[in-house]
Amino acid sequence: MFQRDLETLDRTRLEALQGERLKKTVERVYHLVPFYRQQLDRAGVKPDSIQHVDDVRRLPFTTKADLREQYPFGLFAVEQEEVARIHASSGTRGKPTVVGYTKGDLERWAEVCARAIVTAGGRPGDVFHNAYGYGLFTGGLGMHEGAQRLGMTVIPVSGGNRSRQITLIRDFQPRGIAGTPSFILSLGEAMIESGHDPRKMKLSYGIFGAEPWSEAMRTALEEMWGIDALDIYGLSEVIGPGVSMECREGKDGLHIAEDHFLAEVVDPETGESLPEGEAGELVFTSLTKEAFPVLRYRTGDIAPLTRERCRCGRTHARMSRIKGRLDDMLIIRGVNIFPSEVESVVVQVEELSPHYQVVLTRTGAMDGLTLEVEVSPDWLDRQGGMFDPLQENSRRLHDRIQGRLKEALGISAEVALKSPRTLPRSEGKAVRLVDRRH
C-alpha cells in the first residue's frame, strides 16, 4: 500500500478524522464562499453545529447546475493567486464546469492517485504508459502526477494516435497502462491488426475508468492484453481520478479515499440517504480541499456502497462499479436501462466486436432503442468476407442478439449489425448514446 496507516485506519478513528475535517471544511466554505454561506444559512445550519461525520446529512446539496451558475470562479475558496492549476470538464452537456487546485491540493491529488496505482498493483520503478488525455481533462495530468509521485517512469503519451502508441508499447515495454477502457480496447485491436500480440508485451495491470464499463468488458480486456484490468473512478468536481480505486486482490468494488472524500448514497428523486448496499446516487463532500471544496456534490452516478471488510486489508468503504449516469439512463416503455447493460450483452456474443452505440429513436410518441454493433472480423471471414445483413447467417445472428437483449433488458430493441471498423472509435471517453429522436 502507498499509505498503509491511512488506508487501513480502523473505522472509528477514520470517522473521527472525517468528522474533524468535515467541521473544518464547513467553517471554511461558510467564511470564504458566499454561495455556500447562503445555502447553509437557508438550510439553517451553523458551522459550529457540525460535530460528527453524520452531521453531513444536515448540509444542503450542491449540483452541477450550481457549478454552472457560479461559472467560472464563483465557488473558489482562495484568491486567484493561490490557484496553482485549473481543470475543466469538456462541457458536452452544456457550459463547462471549472475547478481549481492550490499547490497543497495538487500534492494531495498526486497522493490519492499514487495510492490508486499501488492498489492496482503498480510499483515504483515500473514503466507506466499513461493514455488518458492531457490538458483540461483531469485524467492525463492527474494520473501523471500520481505515477511520478510513486516513483514510476511515466510515458505521457495522452490519447489518440494508435500506431504511435503501439510502437511505444513495443519499444518501452511498460508494466502498467492507463486509459479509458474503450480506447485501450481499440488500441489492442489495432495492435492485433498490425500483426503484434498484446499478450506478449510485459504489461501486467491496466487502470481503466472515466466512463462506465462492464464486467464482460473487463474479461475482454484482460484476455486481449493478458493483464489484470482494474476500475478507477473520479470526477473533476471532486478532484479528478483517484476518488476511488479497485484493488487487485479483491476486484470487487472500488475503495474510496475516505480520509479525503466523504461518500453517501441518496435516492436520486427524494435526496433521502439510502442504507448500505442499496444503489442510488453517489454524493461526495471533500474533506481536505482548499481551492475548490464541495459540500454534498450530487454526482449523477449510480452505485451502492459497502463498508464490509475487504480481503486486501483496506478499511475504506467500497463503491461498486458505476452502473451508469442518471443523465444516460433511458426510460423505454417504462423500463430503466443504462447503456452499460447493453454492453454486457454485446461483449458476450462471440460473433460481435465490442464496438457499439445505443441509438434512441422516436416513431410517433414512442421512444425506441436501436443497438448498432459491429460483427467481428473473424466471423465475417468465415462468412466469406463480405457483410450482407440479408444473408441467412446474418439474419440468424441478428435474431439471436435481439432475443438476448430482450432477456437482459426486458424490452424489445432493434439491432443493426455493422461491418467491422464502421462505428467511431474513441480517443478518450466513448460516446455510447446517440439521441436521434429529434
Determine if 101 is a binding residue for ligand DLL (CB under 6 A). no
Q: How far is the CB of 145 from ligand DLL (least distance, A)?
A: 12
Contact set for ligand DLL, span 289-318 (CB under 6 A):
299, 301
Could you say whether residue 325 binds ligand DLL (CB under 6 A)?
A: yes
Stretch that binds ligand DLL, among 135-143, 148-156, 330-338, 341-349 (CB under 6 A): 135-143
Give the residue, chosen from 188, 241, 293, 339, that forms a contact with ligand DLL under the rule CB under 6 A. 241
Considering the rule CB under 6 A, would residue 158 count as an interface residue with ligand DLL? no
3-class SS shares of the chain: helix, strand, coil, % to 5? 35, 25, 40
- Check binding of 206 to ligand DLL (CB under 6 A): no
Give the three-class secondary structure for 429. coil
- Nearest C-alpha neighbor of 72 from the set 83, 84, 88, 57: 88
Choose the stretch contacting ligand DLL; rule: CB under 6 A; options: 145-153, 226-234, 259-267, 415-423. Answer: 226-234
- C-beta of 26 vs 229, nearer to ligand DLL: 229
Q: Which of 145, 228, 231, 351 binds ligand DLL (CB under 6 A)?
A: 231
Region near ligand DLL per CB under 6 A, out of 11-19, 76-84, 210-218, 287-295: 210-218
Q: How far is the CB of 230 from ligand DLL (least distance, A)?
A: 10
Q: Work out whether 89 is an interface residue with ligand DLL (CB under 6 A).
A: yes
**What's the CA gap between 142 and 252, in Å, rounded?**
24
Residue type, 7: E
CB of 209 to ligand DLL, least distance (A): 3
Q: Is 60 in the site for ligand DLL (CB under 6 A)?
A: no
Work out whether 132 is an interface residue with ligand DLL (CB under 6 A): yes
C-alpha cell belonging to residue 291: 481551492
* Residue number with the smallest Cβ distance to ligand DLL: 209
Q: Which of 33, 113, 322, 430 binds ligand DLL (CB under 6 A)?
A: 322
| Residue of the chain from 211, 290, 343, 374 that contacts ligand DLL (CB under 6 A) | 211
Q: What is the CA radius of gyration of the chain?
A: 22
Helix (H) or strand (E) holding 130: strand 127-130
Output 302 or 310, the one with its CB closest to ligand DLL: 302
Q: Which stretch binds ligand DLL (CB under 6 A): 26-34, 59-67, 103-111, 137-145?
A: 137-145
For residue 246, which of 303, 185, 200, 194 has the smallest C-alpha distance?
303
Residue 420 CB partners (closer than 8 Å, separation 6+): 353, 374, 375, 376, 377, 380, 387
Query: For residue 229, what is its C-alpha cell?
Result: 484490468
Nearest by Cα to 354 from 362, 345, 365, 367: 345
Query: CB of 255: closest distance to ligand DLL in angstroms?
Result: 13
Spell 116-132 as b/e; 16+ CB within 10 A means b. Answer: bbbbbbbeeebbbbbbb
* Closest C-alpha among 299, 292, 232 to residue 85: 292
Distance of alpha carbon 274 from alpha carbon 357, whole angstroms: 32
Q: Are 28 and 76 in contact (CB under 8 A)?
A: no
**Site for ligand DLL, rule CB under 6 A:** 89, 132, 137-139, 209-212, 231-236, 240-241, 299, 301, 322, 325
